[in-house]
Structure 1
Amino acid sequence: MCKSDYQVGVFPVTKDGKVVLVTTRGSRYWIFPKGKTEKGRCDREVAREEAYEEAGLEGKLKRKYYEFDSLSSHAKKLRLFPMKVKHVKDDYPEAGERERIIVSIKKAEELVQEDLLVVLKTLQKVVA
């Protein structure tokens, strides 16, 4: 399989400073909502859609994104937009396919794979 240049997603933070994580479909690792870029659509639009589809999140995205090297087999880079979560819906498209949790950044550090620790440590400074 050929890697695309990047995937886009969100770093979702609630008003009380907690982080929203979802599981991958296959391996069940904890990740941030993200997906493949789509030709003809802007990254922000795709990131917002992935947040809703994968985690039931609605909110405001910051204009600036942050880019990280990805260990995913799907992409070389990961672009994440910090998201201030306004609503967490119970009914969303992938609710039956993924688990979702809302945890402190400290707890998230215990749950995510090593490659996402760099992302967490970088982005927690942005949203602090």
Structure 2
Amino acid sequence: MAALPVRQAADGGLEVLLVTTRETRRWIPPKGWPMKGRKPYRAAAIEAQEEAGVTGQISKTPVGHYSYGKRLAGGGVVPCQVAVYVLAVTDHLPNWREQGQRDVQWVSPEVAAMLVEEPELAALILDLARSTSLEE
């Protein structure tokens, strides 16, 4: 599961927060594996806090899914499907668990769609930007 952190930009539009992976430095939303005893949306919110230092209101249902190939240390690839939950960001912490291990960047949905490598994720981000208001 993944959190897609969003906030209202100064111009009234939507901004999306992306982080880099630790190894390949690809741009992705904060994501992780299921956590025992936690609902998927709660686990996604925890990942956003640990990887990007953001907290806020997380959606309880995913806005969509995307697929990617998880690269393994031995060179293999495992197909994964990721449920994406929107996180309306209310706070950016001064310190967080993976600070310094990843780059963090707020960008427009259009730029985010260009930065991510997964076509399904890019489409999801653009669809969300067209259909979402933070006041909902």
Q: How high is the TM-score relative to the length of structure 1?
A: 0.84
Which residue number corresponds to residue 102 of structure 1?
106
Matches within 5 A, 1:1-128: 8-16=1-9, 17-73=14-70, 76-115=80-119, 116-128=121-133
Which residue number corresponds to residue 73 of structure 2?
none
Structure 2: unaligned runs, 5 residues or longer: 71-77
Q: Which deviates the most, 45-54 or 84-93?
A: 84-93
- Root mean square deviation of aligned Cα: 1.7
Deviation at 1:97, TM superposition (A): 0.6
Residue 24 of structure 2 aligns to a residue whose secondary structure is coil
Residue 47 of structure 1 aligns to a residue whose secondary structure is helix
Which residue number corresponds to residue 75 of structure 2?
none
Residue 114 of structure 2 aligns to a residue whose secondary structure is helix
Aligned AA for 2:103?
E
Task: Provide the rounded CA distance (Å) in 2 between the counterparts of 1:75 and 1:38.
Answer: 19
Deviations 1:69-128 (A, max 9, x none): 411325531111111110112311101110000111122122111432122123223424
Q: Matched residue pairs, number?
A: 121
Q: 1:117 to 1:14 in 2, by over 3 A?
A: same
Residue 36 of structure 1 aligns to a residue whose secondary structure is coil
Residue 41 of structure 1 aligns to a residue whose secondary structure is coil
Give percent identity, aligned residues only.
31
Deviation at 1:65, TM superposition (A): 0.9
Task: Provide the rounded CA distance (Å) in 2 between the counterparts of 1:44 and 1:67.
Answer: 12
Q: How high is the TM-score relative to the length of structure 2?
A: 0.80
Q: Which deviates the most, 43-52 or 114-123?
A: 114-123
**Contact 2:113–2:123 (CA under 8 A) maintained in structure 1:** no
